[in-house]
Amino acid sequence: MEKMNYQIVFSWPKSSGGYVWVDYQADGSYMSSLEELVYIPIPPYLIEKDCSQGIEMYKPFEDLTLFAKFADIEATPESFKAWADRYGLLTDGEGLLLNAEEKLYVPLEEAFVLGEESSASLLTAPGGVKEVRALAEPLGFWLREHRDLSFAMMVWELAVNKDVERLRKIIRWLDGDTKIGICHVKKASLDKLDIDKLRDDNYRKEHTFGENVLFDKNTQSGSLKHMYRYPDIIRPALFYVQKIINKKARDYPLHVILQFDEFDDQGRLRKQFQPTSLLSIMWYQFYLVVAGDEALRRCAICGQWENMRDHRESWKKHKTCASHERVKRFRKAEPIT
């Protein structure tokens, strides 16, 4: 079958003034465009530090390693802020309005923050009325989205490298080998995890963020029952990656559209994928890598991901990393005078 080629033309905004975490309590309404539920999330919220400085546009799809870089950062407010300063919010943001009854979504160009960095001044508007309108993303949202992508990337990397020893801590056969369970192990805990201690609630909460049944042969019919056979854990691991990518593709979709080609004299239309957010483009990048349309590899020295598009299959490390390594070896071999 012939490949269906779709062009991606996608720019994403980031605040010229950067972002800041604010810790006030929202006592108004919060309209979530991410979910159907309307709720008031728990602070802190990441918002633009100074909306008066405007926005910058860039093209995130040009960096295929973007999703992998996000998966590798630490899950801390400081790391998330640094990420947002460089790449912007994960979505269009959510319109946050304090002390108001109506549900509100504030477009980016209308968002404003009054005052300097302090939480108190952010809450004070002219006349002493406490009202802040801003595009905001709560810390809980960042933690969840980073956790999901980071864990999926870890499972995929272990499966591709056939790292069965560590993968066995995540994928387990249960109930007479009729069910496949997945334990959501925190990346920092993977190497030190003791499976036998997971019965202890405190130990489990410290090192994991939940577990569930990935596949149950007793409830499946037809060919699916025979796809996963004990003791294989590689295919079940890839099944999990497939499921999470498909879910996130529904949550943060790419729209298929037609667009006039401005450089085509005949006025022909071109096929385009139109991402809906930064999360949308990052999960699509992961999709391309898992599907084999693109390839990434970690540098053997610094551990950073590299796009293999312009490299030979034998590529193992960055030139700068290899150069620094040679200098280190040379200096170590120098005789003491």
Is residue 330 included in any domain, yes or no? Answer: no
Is residue 331 included in any domain, yes or no? Answer: no
Same domain for 81 and 153 = no
Distance CA(180)–CA(173), nearest Å, equals 5
Distances (CA, A) of 200 to 193, 195, 197, 203, 208: 13, 10, 6, 5, 12
Same domain for 115 and 152 = no
Domain final residue pick, 205, 236, 251? 251
Q: Closest by alpha carbon to 152, among 62, 248, 225, 218?
A: 248
Domain final residue pick, 251, 279, 310? 251
Q: Closest by alpha carbon to 195, among 186, 183, 187?
A: 183
Domain housing 190 = 144-251
Same domain for 280 and 184 = no
Q: Does pTM top 0.85 for this prediction?
A: no
Same domain for 263 and 128 = yes
DSSP secondary structure string for all residues of 54-119? -EEEE-GGG-TTHHHHHHHS-SSHHHHHHHHHHH--SSS-EEEETT-SS-----GGG-B--SSSSH
Same domain for 188 and 67 = no
DSSP secondary structure string for all residues of 308-334? GGGS-TT--S-HHHHHHHHHHHHHHHS
Same domain for 122 and 222 = no
Same domain for 161 and 264 = no
Is residue 337 included in any domain, yes or no? Answer: no
Is residue 333 included in any domain, yes or no? Answer: no
Same domain for 259 and 246 = no
* Per-residue model confidence as pLDDT tens for the chain (337 residues): 445 567 888 999 999 999 988 776 554 444 444 444 345 667 788 888 876 678 999 999 999 999 999 999 999 999 999 999 999 999 987 655 443 333 233 333 333 333 333 232 333 333 443 444 567 888 999 999 999 999 999 999 999 999 999 999 999 999 989 999 999 999 999 999 999 999 999 999 999 999 999 989 888 776 767 788 899 999 999 999 999 999 999 999 999 888 877 666 777 788 888 999 999 999 999 999 999 999 999 999 999 999 998 888 889 888 889 887 777 777 776 655 5
How, if at all, do strands 133-138 and 45-48 pair? Answer: antiparallel
Is residue 327 included in any domain, yes or no? Answer: no
Helices (H), 118-195: 119-122, 139-160, 164-167
| Domain count for the chain | 2
Is residue 284 included in any domain, yes or no? Answer: yes
Same domain for 300 and 246 = no
Is residue 152 included in any domain, yes or no? Answer: yes
Same domain for 130 and 48 = yes
Block residue for tokens 């854990």: 233
Distance between alpha carbon 198 and the CA centroid of its chain, in Å?
A: 27
List CB contacts of 108: < 8 A, sequence separation 6 or more: 13, 55, 92, 93, 135
Same domain for 70 and 112 = yes
Is residue 332 included in any domain, yes or no? Answer: no
152 residue type, one letter: A
Same domain for 222 and 73 = no
